[in-house]
Chain A
Amino acid sequence: MQLEILKTYKLYIGGAFPRTESGRFYKLENNKKEVIANMCLSSRKDFRNAVVAARKAVEGWSGRAAFNRGQILYRIAEMLEGRKMQFIEELILQGATKANAEKEVRQAIDRCVYYSGWCDKYQPLFGSINPVATSHFNFSVPEPTGVVSVLADENSSLLGLVSVIMPIIVGGNTCVVLASETKPLCSITFAEVLATSDLPGGVVNILTGNSKELHTHFASHMDVNAVVYCRENVEEAKAIAELSSLNVKRSFFWQKDWTKTEHENPYLIMDLQEIKTTWHPIENIGVSGAKY
């Protein structure tokens, strides 16, 4: 018999897979109380490092053509499809039934494809040409907010993670995500999918660890532009809302049942967009009217 090689789950920061700088770990157990993995217990410093990587990636990622971002998101779906068995196994390991695990992976793939299609479509639908009364050409376009910190759904290992990351990055933002503490396996395997999908390093950074320890930092970091909180802890949510005021951080509370397709929509993309309006004069000296 050949002995199975166990996988070491590390973090995903700036396109690399480092261990936590703190050297700390926590034991992940299955429902029979058996240890299935030693997960990194990320520190505040890991978060700060991840924000640096995310900030560095903003310019390149938001500067890409919308079409190119869409191609990359579709590539993520392709990679996910190719490795779906691995995700199903991990979901089962974390307590899901086979049927539910298969369904969750299926939905996660579809969600990537869904958001891939939005790359070049939310701007025309949510931008506008504004018929101002003066002789100006005036238009408004959505632009990415910047770096987004995310505390992902605690109860959904893969779908909850994908459903939040996709609408954030399709719009040109970068993010730092704290994965589910009790179901973290899929997050790091998903990072491996991202790393092989032509997604530039730093666009998505994934940490594992404890929300109680880290949530205040996610909300108070001065170089984070928005925070998305997807958990049910009312106290944490309140702290995040309050701390966001430090730098007028946009804070969003996405506590949703991600298995429902109504929670895939462009309004989530738009939560993390700013609107920029440009005024440009129209020289109105040509008096010829528009003629047939």
Chain B
Amino acid sequence: MATTKNKIVKKSAPQVSSVKSVFQNYAPAPESSDHIQLKSQYDLFINGKFVKPLSKEYYDTINPATGKKIASVAKGNEKDIDAAVKSANKAFETWSKTAPKERAKYIYRIARMIQERAREFAVIETMNGGKSIRESRDIDVPLAANHFFYYAGWADKLEYAFPNRNPKPIGVAGQIIPWNFPLLMAAWKIAPALATGNTVVLKPAETTPLTALKLAEIIQESGLPDGVVNIVTGFGDCGAALVNHPQVNKIAFTGSTPVGKYIQKAIAGTSKKVTLELGGKAANIIFDDAPIDQAVEGIVNGIFFNQGHVCCAGSRLFIQENVAEKVIKKLKERMKTLIVGDPMDKNTDIGAINSQAQLDKINHYIKLGQKEGAEIFQPECSIPSHGFFCKPTLFIGTSQSHRIVQEEIFGPVLTIQTFRTIEEVIEKANNIPYGLSAGVWTDKGSKIFNLTSKLRVGVVWANTYNKFDPTSPFGGYKESGFGREGGVHGLLPYVKF
């Protein structure tokens, strides 16, 4: 397999030309993919070894910026899941009894190895997922390493996190992760599970399996005992088999609200513990006393970060009426400078949409928004002819009853409403089934704390947006799910007393 490594890479390196807006004319600055190592075919990682799927079937994983195949990936099924869960169950016997200090050392090793191979991870993340190299390099990969580092430290300190209790691991954790932050979500899931002494069966998203499989290679090199982490790639049936497997003791899911509801229902009546990190439709609230230029940057970061494929994206913008005209004007000007195109280009702001299916969904909502009567704005930029791309999009003059305001689009589409009073905006912001996050922009600290106490969401960003840290708990209220990842609170889902 090693002989085909480089050939595959060259073939799949993106050929998209960067598209320059009318205001910018940067020379292309593509990140090189020469140094990365990819195999032409990836197997399942079960019991410390890469094994062929029992179905013998493979599927193509593609580069969404070009539509071209990168590698074949094993299509795991129910039987593969069974093998993985059994191996995790067996490994639990010794792993849960391993001295916490030694457990920590394995996790520290994984953290260090991700740091050492950060550039490779960043390039593969961008090739497989479509996000800009700037984001995978500066956000996804370092944060993933830091999560392992952070939770490694907890392994021998758990008794301090739960005073007066004796925390014990639960067993086998079945973890299902989405395609928007493939490596980072794997880190969020695996790190706390290992630190608390659980074993893991992880199912990556079907469109973005590669960095999880590279992580499997690191896990193998780290010497982590066989079966402690198992990674099974596949489709929805594979995830369902994991959820329903009787030897799985805990489910951790990040993904859509409908699937979250399915999982909650499926495990009803069993003793399985579950945490759900589901969809969102965050309010980003701009008051008239906000620093407007910073707020505009925050709006752009809030909705266009990772092409808007972010559960906590600031997709509902609320602007206080007396500054609305000014903010919208500045926002439009700023959007004209955004570079949409080759994700591997270091100047690119908005990369490729993750898949054809997701692009179709976004385009459906863009048409729907126009049909609902909202005013659309898209900057005059061209987008590459191949691959999946979407222009950054605004809808002005929307109202609470519009479907584009109520439903999660998961793309670079922002809806704008105005408000007059603080009561009104709190009412509107909360009037939605979701409750993951919110943004507040004002110069007045007391106003921030008023809003943080009244908004029914799990994370509030004040005068900033989309900030993540291993020490900071993340998770939602209401139909955005329950349970927290990150921080001290992120340990709780993985222990029993």
Return the CB mask of A250-292 against B: 1 if under 8 Å, else 0: 0000000000000000100000000000001111111111111
Contact assessment for B427 and A288 in the assembled complex, using a CB-CB cutoff below 8 Å = yes
Could you tell me the distance in whole angstroms from the C-beta of A110 to the nearest C-beta in chain B? 6
Contact assessment for A74 and B446 in the assembled complex, using a CB-CB cutoff below 8 Å = no
B470 CB–A CB distance under 8 Å: yes
Of the stretches B149-157, B222-230, B369-377, B378-386, the one at the interface is B149-157
Contact assessment for B444 and A283 in the assembled complex, using a CB-CB cutoff below 8 Å = yes
Bound Cα distance A124, B488 (Å): 8
Q: How many residues of B contact A (CB 8 A)?
A: 38
Return the CB mask of B417-460 against A: 1 if under 8 Å, else 0: 00001110011001100000000000011110111011110000
Bound Cα distance A136, B470 (Å): 28
Contact assessment for A117 and B152 in the assembled complex, using a CB-CB cutoff below 8 Å = yes
Which residue of A125, A281, A289, A291 contacts B488 across the interface (Cβ within 8 Å)? A125
B431: A residues at CB distance < 8 A: 291
A67: B residues at CB distance < 8 A: 146, 149-150, 470-471
Which residue of A110, A124, A288 contacts B423 across the interface (Cβ within 8 Å)? A288
Contact assessment for B449 and A70 in the assembled complex, using a CB-CB cutoff below 8 Å = no
Given contacts A117-B157, A124-B488, A291-B427, contact A285 B149 (CB under 8 A): no
Could you tell me the distance in whole angstroms from the C-beta of B19 to the nearest C-beta in chain A? 37
Given contacts A74-B108, A137-B449, A281-B445, contact A286 B423 (CB under 8 A): yes
B39 CB–A CB distance under 8 Å: no
A57 CB–B CB distance under 8 Å: no
B487 CB–A CB distance under 8 Å: yes
Within 8 A of B (CB), among A112-157: 113-114, 116-121, 124-125, 137
A49 CB–B CB distance under 8 Å: no
Which residue of B146, B445, B455 contacts A280 across the interface (Cβ within 8 Å)? B445
B421: A residues at CB distance < 8 A: 286
Given contacts A125-B488, A266-B160, A288-B426, contact A118 B450 (CB under 8 A): no
A182 CB–B CB distance under 8 Å: no
Return the CB mask of A3-41 against B: 1 if under 8 Å, else 0: 000000000000000000000000000000000000000
Return the CB mask of A146-180 against B: 1 if under 8 Å, else 0: 00000000000000000000000000000000000
B155: A residues at CB distance < 8 A: 117
Return the CB mask of B130-164 against A: 1 if under 8 Å, else 0: 00000000000000001001101111110011000
B214 CB–A CB distance under 8 Å: no
Contact assessment for B446 and A120 in the assembled complex, using a CB-CB cutoff below 8 Å = no
Bound Cα distance A291, B431 (Å): 8
Contact assessment for A116 and B153 in the assembled complex, using a CB-CB cutoff below 8 Å = yes
Bound Cα distance A285, B163 (Å): 38
Return the CB mask of A204-222 against B: 1 if under 8 Å, else 0: 0000000000000000000
B422: A residues at CB distance < 8 A: 285-286, 288
Contact assessment for B153 and A281 in the assembled complex, using a CB-CB cutoff below 8 Å = no
Contact assessment for B149 and A291 in the assembled complex, using a CB-CB cutoff below 8 Å = no
Return the CB mask of B449-483 against A: 1 if under 8 Å, else 0: 11101111000000000000011000000100000
Bound Cα distance A121, B421 (Å): 40
Return the CB mask of A180-211 against B: 1 if under 8 Å, else 0: 00000000000000000000000000000000
Bound Cα distance A289, B160 (Å): 36
B101 CB–A CB distance under 8 Å: yes
Contact assessment for B108 and A283 in the assembled complex, using a CB-CB cutoff below 8 Å = no
Which residue of A281, A291, A292 contacts B446 across the interface (Cβ within 8 Å)? A281
A113: B residues at CB distance < 8 A: 101, 104-105, 108
Contact assessment for B449 and A282 in the assembled complex, using a CB-CB cutoff below 8 Å = yes
Given contacts A282-B446, A282-B449, contact A110 B426 (CB under 8 A): no
B149: A residues at CB distance < 8 A: 67, 70-71, 74
Given contacts A282-B453, A283-B446, contact A124 B471 (CB under 8 A): yes
Contact assessment for A292 and B478 in the assembled complex, using a CB-CB cutoff below 8 Å = yes
> What residue of chain B has the Cβ atom nearest to residue A73's Cβ?
B153
Could you tell me the distance in whole angstroms from the C-beta of A116 to the nearest C-beta in chain B? 7
Return the CB mask of A32-71 against B: 1 if under 8 Å, else 0: 0000000000000000000000000000000000110011
B154: A residues at CB distance < 8 A: 117, 121
A292: B residues at CB distance < 8 A: 430, 456, 478
Bound Cα distance A246, B161 (Å): 38
B157: A residues at CB distance < 8 A: 117-118, 121, 266
Bound Cα distance A121, B105 (Å): 17
Which residue of A71, A137, A288 contacts B454 across the interface (Cβ within 8 Å)? A288
Bound Cα distance A70, B147 (Å): 13
Contact assessment for B446 and A280 in the assembled complex, using a CB-CB cutoff below 8 Å = yes
A280: B residues at CB distance < 8 A: 445-446, 449
Bound Cα distance A286, B446 (Å): 11
B430: A residues at CB distance < 8 A: 290-292
Contact assessment for A283 and B450 in the assembled complex, using a CB-CB cutoff below 8 Å = yes
Contact assessment for A290 and B454 in the assembled complex, using a CB-CB cutoff below 8 Å = yes
Bound Cα distance A223, B488 (Å): 36
Contact assessment for A125 and B108 in the assembled complex, using a CB-CB cutoff below 8 Å = no
Contact assessment for A285 and B108 in the assembled complex, using a CB-CB cutoff below 8 Å = no
Contact assessment for A118 and B478 in the assembled complex, using a CB-CB cutoff below 8 Å = no
Most chain A CB atoms below 10 A, which of B453, B455, B478: B453
Given contacts A281-B446, A282-B450, A292-B430, contact A287 B423 (CB under 8 A): yes
Within 8 A of B (CB), among A58-105: 66-67, 70-71, 74
Bound Cα distance A292, B427 (Å): 9
Contact assessment for A124 and B478 in the assembled complex, using a CB-CB cutoff below 8 Å = no
Bound Cα distance A137, B150 (Å): 28
Bound Cα distance A280, B448 (Å): 10
A71: B residues at CB distance < 8 A: 149
A285: B residues at CB distance < 8 A: 422, 450
Bound Cα distance A118, B160 (Å): 11
Could you tell me the distance in whole angstroms from the C-beta of A169 to the nearest C-beta in chain B? 16
Bound Cα distance A67, B146 (Å): 8
Within 8 A of A (CB), among B168-211: none
Could you tell me the distance in whole angstroms from the C-beta of A137 to the nearest C-beta in chain B? 5
B108: A residues at CB distance < 8 A: 74, 113
A74: B residues at CB distance < 8 A: 108, 149
Contact assessment for B446 and A290 in the assembled complex, using a CB-CB cutoff below 8 Å = no
Contact assessment for A283 and B447 in the assembled complex, using a CB-CB cutoff below 8 Å = yes
B451: A residues at CB distance < 8 A: 286
Bound Cα distance A282, B426 (Å): 15
Most chain A CB atoms below 10 A, which of B155, B446, B456: B446
Q: Show the binding face of A for B, using Cβ within 8 Å.
A: 66-67, 70-71, 74, 110, 113-114, 116-121, 124-125, 137, 266, 280-292
29 cross-chain CB contacts under 8 A: A74-B149, A114-B101, A117-B104, A117-B156, A118-B157, A119-B153, A120-B150, A120-B153, A120-B470, A120-B471, A121-B160, A121-B471, A124-B488, A125-B161, A137-B449, A266-B157, A280-B445, A280-B446, A280-B449, A281-B449, A282-B453, A284-B450, A285-B422, A286-B421, A286-B423, A286-B450, A290-B455, A291-B427, A291-B456
> Which 6 A-B pairs rank lowest in CB-CB distance, beginning with the nearest?
A117-B153, A283-B446, A282-B449, A286-B422, A281-B446, A288-B423
With A117-B153, A125-B488, A283-B450 already in contact, 13 other A-B pairs whose C-beta atoms are closer than 8 Å? A67-B150, A110-B101, A113-B101, A117-B157, A121-B153, A121-B488, A124-B471, A281-B445, A282-B450, A286-B426, A288-B426, A290-B454, A292-B456
